[in-house]
């Protein structure tokens, strides 16, 4: 079903033939009824579906630890021994919705959080979910209705081979035509396996790696640099890591990087990393006791002796508030930091870091949309923010932030969208967005979806543009 919105779409909606329109209306009623069984209306953060009562020894053992921000013991003290899962951090966010609070960061910019979310239209009403399946019921079989050629289209991918198990908080990376999945967990066990999807044949294989042993981990980062994957941090249970590993995807060999000098980021997870101008940058996350907003970098090539060297980066302009489960997306010489959580609030603010001048700036986007555990992928001048949690519920929305105007836009999307989730992983390749795994408060997924961008893969491909230049 095509999504609609209170915001005007930026492209004209296709005209449907009467028979097709009637068939789609019939399917909309059926889809609405089916989704009501999996997503109750007006569900609060304290609803049973988000209140799993597991008591595993992990960073989800507390209100803030679901975002990997607080140590289980500290989190239990903070949450008075309350919920021990992702529902805990979401309930903690809910408990702070009782009254608005005026907050400003170090640069004087007002902080956007779920505390004042009740003052504006809810995200799900202001920006409806991704399009529903458009199908025609033939009575004997199901046949997809015709979709206009330039439209985007969701579908669950058909794959073969050694498919990865159910997982969340894993990473996906693209090198060439291969999609690499590393780490993650199924709410019980963490993984250290590497799975590779050939995106041309859609065949999965489990990589037989050699070299140094890599511990199972989740909520880590994996950064592609040429044919290598740089893996930093993450954790397993109550453990938080700060080791750096490099996987050579040509030789299948892992290397535990030797660090020169005493400077090294603290153990953490739920942070973000990105590669720019020969460096792998690291921002934020949580170390088990608090959320972080420090910035580090390590040169992607070793020193003469073979060691790598970390350095903490000093910036100006006022850093964003400490957070984890945010996204950091490289756009030219800037990185866009959006959303996340400090374990108590779900953020909707947007900050920009100029990597040439190392200066932060903070922009106000109306309406401010809160997200954590989402994905954000650059497509032309648009930032595709997909799924995640908005402080009230898991989402299956595709939100498009046009970076030159800094305004949210919507598009008509056809096909069978993923059910609402967060803690998934996304990557862009060859005009398709790949979405893998995730968690919806009840279930961990092993599915793979593709969003065919069609002609939208050519969304303004401007070689250089200034973020916010047309506000």
Instruction: Give me the helices (H) in 51-126, please.
Output: 72-78, 86-95, 123-126
Q: What fold is seen in the domain 135-458?
A: Neuraminidase (2.120.10)
Between strands 210-211 and 253-256, the pairing is parallel
pLDDT at residue 146, as a whole number: 61
Biggest distance spanned by C-alpha atoms of the chain:
71
The per-residue DSSP string of 296-311 comes to: EEEESS--TTS-B-EE
pLDDT at residue 471, as a whole number: 65
**Spatial contact of 131 and 28, defined as CB atoms under 8 Å apart:** no
pLDDT tens, position by position, for the chain (471 residues)?
444 333 333 333 233 333 333 333 434 433 333 333 322 232 222 222 222 333 333 333 333 444 445 443 343 333 333 333 444 444 444 444 333 333 444 444 444 444 443 333 323 333 433 333 333 333 333 334 465 667 899 999 999 999 999 999 999 999 999 999 999 999 999 999 999 999 999 999 999 999 999 999 999 999 999 999 999 999 999 999 999 999 999 999 999 999 998 999 999 999 999 999 999 999 999 998 999 999 999 999 999 999 999 999 999 999 999 999 999 999 999 999 999 999 999 999 999 999 999 999 999 998 889 999 999 999 988 999 999 999 999 999 999 999 989 999 888 899 999 999 999 999 999 999 999 999 999 999 999 999 999 877 666 555 567 787 766
pLDDT at residue 464, as a whole number: 66
pLDDT at residue 454, as a whole number: 83
Q: Of the candidates 86, 188, 110, which has an alpha carbon nearest to the alpha carbon of residue 366?
A: 110
pLDDT tens column, 424-464: 999 999 999 999 999 999 999 999 999 999 877 666 555 56
95-99, long-range: CB < 8 A, 24+ apart: 96/344, 96/345
Q: List the chain domain ranges.
A: 48-108, 135-458
C-alpha atoms less than 13 angstroms from C-alpha of 39 in its C-beta half-sphere: 17
Query: Which residues have a Cβ under 8 Å from the Cβ of 82 and sit 6 or more positions away?
Result: 62, 63, 76, 88, 91, 92
């Amino acid at each position: 079903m095509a999504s609609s919105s209170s915001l005007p779409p930026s492209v004209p909606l296709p005209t449907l033939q009467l028979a097709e329109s009637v068939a789609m209306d019939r399917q909309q009623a059926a889809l609405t009824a089916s989704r009501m069984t999996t997503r109750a209306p007006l569900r609060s953060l304290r609803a049973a579906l988000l209140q799993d009562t597991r008591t595993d020894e992990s960073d989800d053992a507390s209100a803030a630890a679901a975002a990997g921000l607080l140590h289980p013991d500290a989190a239990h003290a903070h949450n008075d021994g309350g919920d021990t899962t992702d529902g805990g951090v979401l309930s903690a966010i809910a408990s702070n919705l009782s009254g608005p609070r005026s907050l400003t960061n170090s640069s004087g910019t007002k902080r956007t959080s779920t505390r004042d979310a009740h003052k504006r239209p809810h995200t799900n009403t202001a920006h409806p979910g991704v399009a529903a399946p458009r199908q025609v019921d033939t009575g004997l079989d199901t046949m997809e209705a015709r979709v206009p050629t330039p439209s985007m289209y969701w579908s669950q991918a058909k794959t073969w081979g050694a498919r990865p198990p159910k997982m969340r908080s894993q990473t996906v990376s693209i090198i060439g035509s291969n999609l690499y999945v590393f780490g993650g967990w199924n709410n019980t066990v963490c993984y250290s396996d590497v799975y590779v999807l050939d995106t041309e044949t859609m065949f999965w294989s489990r990589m037989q790696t050699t070299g140094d042993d890599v511990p199972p981990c989740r909520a880590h980062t994996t950064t592609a640099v040429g044919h290598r994957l740089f893996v930093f941090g993450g954790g397993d249970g109550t453990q938080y890591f700060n080791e750096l590993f490099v996987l050579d995807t040509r030789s299948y060999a892992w290397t535990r990087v030797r660090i020169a000098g005493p400077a090294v980021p603290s153990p953490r997870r739920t942070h973000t990393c990105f590669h720019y101008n020969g460096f792998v940058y690291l921002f934020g996350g949580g170390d088990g006791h608090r959320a972080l907003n420090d910035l580090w970098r390590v040169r992607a090539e070793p020193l003469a002796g073979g060691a790598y060297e970390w350095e903490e980066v000093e910036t100006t302009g006022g850093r964003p508030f400490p957070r984890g489960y945010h996204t950091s997306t490289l756009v030219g010489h800037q990185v866009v930091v959006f959303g996340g959580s400090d374990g108590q609030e779900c953020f909707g603010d947007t900050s920009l870091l100029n990597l040439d001048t190392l200066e932060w700036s903070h922009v106000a986007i109306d309406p401010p949309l809160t997200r954590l555990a989402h994905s954000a992928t650059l497509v032309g001048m648009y930032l595709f923010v997909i799924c995640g949690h908005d402080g009230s519920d898991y989402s299956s929305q595709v939100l498009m932030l046009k970076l030159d105007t800094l305004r949210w836009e919507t598009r008509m999307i056809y096909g069978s969208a993923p059910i609402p989730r967060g803690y998934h992983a996304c990557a862009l390749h060859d005009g398709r967005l790949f979405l893998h795994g995730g968690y919806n408060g009840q279930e961990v997924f092993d599915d793979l979806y593709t969003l065919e961008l069609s002609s939208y893969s050519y969304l303004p491909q401007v070689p250089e543009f200034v973020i916010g230049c047309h506000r």
